[in-house]
């Protein structure tokens, strides 16, 4: 994949969120780390799809389900931040890399302006990876 200069690369999973920008060229990209905003993962709308109530879970199962809700809320908080950047014209080129579960949740919340800025979204868990490893994964596209 050709990564235009200035493209924002967002890397996420259920717990982490990292931002990079291509400060190189399209043919010789180089990712530089960007500051990550403080997010408020308070949107638990993903839990509305669950028909069971947490109080009905067997011991241990509730904790697992709560963890998944927290991961979904984190993914939604990320995409809401990205949506706001796209809506206010602060984001024009984006590559989003997230684990499959988070990416699936994020896709449900893409604003049309974010879709316009999105060059691709990739279902890989690369949170914590270094720039060259991220670029290597993107080159396979």
pLDDT at 62: 46
Q: How far apart are CA 65 and CA 72, in angstroms?
A: 11
For the whole model, what pTM was predicted?
A: 0.83
Whole-number pLDDT of residue 133: 96
Percentages helix, strand, coil for the chain, rounded to the nearest 5? 40, 20, 40
DSSP 49: G
Residue 4 CB neighbours (<10 A): 13
pLDDT of 39: 87
Domain at 8-139: CATH architecture: 2-Layer Sandwich (3.30)
22: tokens are 């291509």
pLDDT computed for residue 54 by the predictor: 44
Q: Tell me, what's the pLDDT at 105?
A: 94
- pLDDT tens for the chain, residues 1 to 141: 999 999 999 999 989 999 999 999 999 999 999 999 998 776 555 444 443 444 444 555 544 555 577 888 899 999 999 999 999 999 999 999 999 999 999 999 999 999 999 999 999 999 999 999 999 999 988
Domain locations in the chain as residue ranges = 8-139
């Amino acid at each position: 994949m050709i990564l235009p200069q200035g493209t924002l690369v967002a890397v996420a999973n259920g717990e982490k969120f990292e931002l990079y920008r291509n400060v190189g060229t399209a043919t010789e990209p180089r990712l530089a780390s960007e500051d990550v905003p403080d997010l408020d993962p308070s949107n638990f709308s993903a839990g509305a799809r669950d028909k069971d109530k947490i109080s009905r879970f067997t011991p241990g199962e509730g904790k697992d389900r709560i963890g998944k809700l927290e991961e979904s809320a984190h993914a939604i908080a990320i995409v809401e931040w990205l949506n706001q950047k796209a809506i206010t014209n602060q984001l024009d080129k984006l590559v989003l890399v997230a684990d499959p579960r988070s990416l699936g949740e994020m896709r449900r919340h893409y604003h049309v302006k974010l879709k316009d800025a999105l060059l691709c979204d990739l279902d890989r868990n690369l949170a914590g990876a270094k720039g060259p490893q991220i670029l290597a994964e993107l080159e396979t596209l």
